[in-house]
Structure 1
């Protein structure tokens, strides 16, 4: 028999069973779920400090940068998100090629270094905050977040949405823990020491993640994934998913940035708006876990688009038309549930249509396009505020978020 005929023959049943067993060894198991826990810790640390920007924005506007426009300060937060997503193609492919260990080391040390620099910034130094918190922090976080979700995708197939949903709960918990920590510490120990303690907390999370996480080896052919892989856009499913997610992300973060300010304008003297971010992130925990579980059963795309519609309807009927603080609290909770799925499910949907060896590079390329939406969406919404001191002044901001969701 010639060499060509050997290489072109159909695999036998025994070979197929062997390949199936090799795939199953990465479908769950102790190592896989430890990796999920490690990724959740990275999400807790990274998204925790990023999702705390609502606290930073309020503190900068009132105390630290009171002469700087709020929309200018908000750009620091959206720049973090932009850099995180735009570097996703590179960091995801590096994870495919080298695993997560060195990426976690670099991201962890870089994030701690950025926060230590931030703790020495003096009041009124906007450009220092822009360079440190906007650029440096966004850059270093990018090399932790994308590998964290990529390595989980390497360990799961059938239950990938559930696993990624569990990881996303780390982001939600961080979005609760870090703002509460900063709210309590800044008045007692000062801004600088509070930020340094946050850096210590992040260091502990990354150290544990390093011990718990394990990357899946490269495919059987031994070939390394391309560093940047945009070939996914040749697949119409990938392209449509990317376009839909792009428009959803344009309006996705607007409520988390502006809902507290809106509540204080419309319901002055209320005592609950300071907990809105915590409520939203707490409901994201339920949304990320339950949504991932359901998406694995009804289909990831079949669950994703109803969550987008739900987010839009909530903005219209509860935020725009709501006339009591209780309705606004309900909006915050329900929107947190929907937004967690809009944010988490696209990655698992991409994994469903991606060759295993290119998972990190394809997810990364996907989010490098989404990065533009995360950069410009919230500032565009802020520019639509016609009067920051009246309810009607926020009308077009809410409409913008509603239609894009």
Structure 2
């Protein structure tokens, strides 16, 4: 990946140092900045002079560079570049205003990012590509963009992309990363907590034959989906849930595959009394149940994930686990405030969005046969 413009690189590094330095405090020397940014003295001098003209840097002969004692406001970050990784066609179209933003998880997340960031004074710029090669070019362009000062990533899985942004001295907040190596400054969901909420809810209703429909694709790694599936296996066995052959199966993103999976699941003997699935699977599960004259909420309990609009409008309305959108964006932008002030969070200190179950009419006591 090409290096960003050296002037932009030095400016970002200097602004980060200014935010982390108390008024009157010493800034890195010219030599230290040369070593840190891998540039020559002319570049450092040129950038420092620009900040001197704004009275943001004091250069004292034989003493070094200092943040002025006077309370002059530091440059305010007013632009937020939001980088979407691993996007599908419909998400790409929503981000580029080619189609209206819908009530899918990412549709609602995009809306939350726009509204929350705008309320905090950020001008939001979305970036997304449909293939990995163009993603690398997209990140390279952002590293070299003179106005780029802070980034929010969504669905990050390739740590090389993250390293490129960090090496360009861009503050980066990572919202719902998809890779197994979680970077610093991230907002995540806890797969164990998600499954524990769902299993505990159904077990308290007396269910022991609980099935799980998932969207794990071998060719497209997704941290949360993989970890939730593995957590379901582990917690189900620990809780004494009956895991019959075929109870855990792929349903996917296409209506035909979802309906095929739902029909196959309900044809198993003994039939599960409850199903955990993604909200997008709800219509298929409902249809497969109707074909067998099973009443949702009585003969079969169905527990969705994400609390999308479909969970609220399907008949009967579906119980679903709420994965936060607005809360996650607020947490992310609060974290950005901390990072801009020089307080990074290690992966061990990352924040976890709190999930909760919204109870509706698709779940009820187990009807054992």
Q: Into which bin does the TM-score normalised by the smaller protein fall? A: under 0.3
* More strand as a share of residues: 2
Q: Which has the larger radius of gyration?
A: 2
Higher normalized contact order (CA 8 Å, seq sep 6+, divided by chain length): 1
TM-score (norm 2): 0.25
TM-score (norm 1): 0.24
* More helix as a share of residues: 1
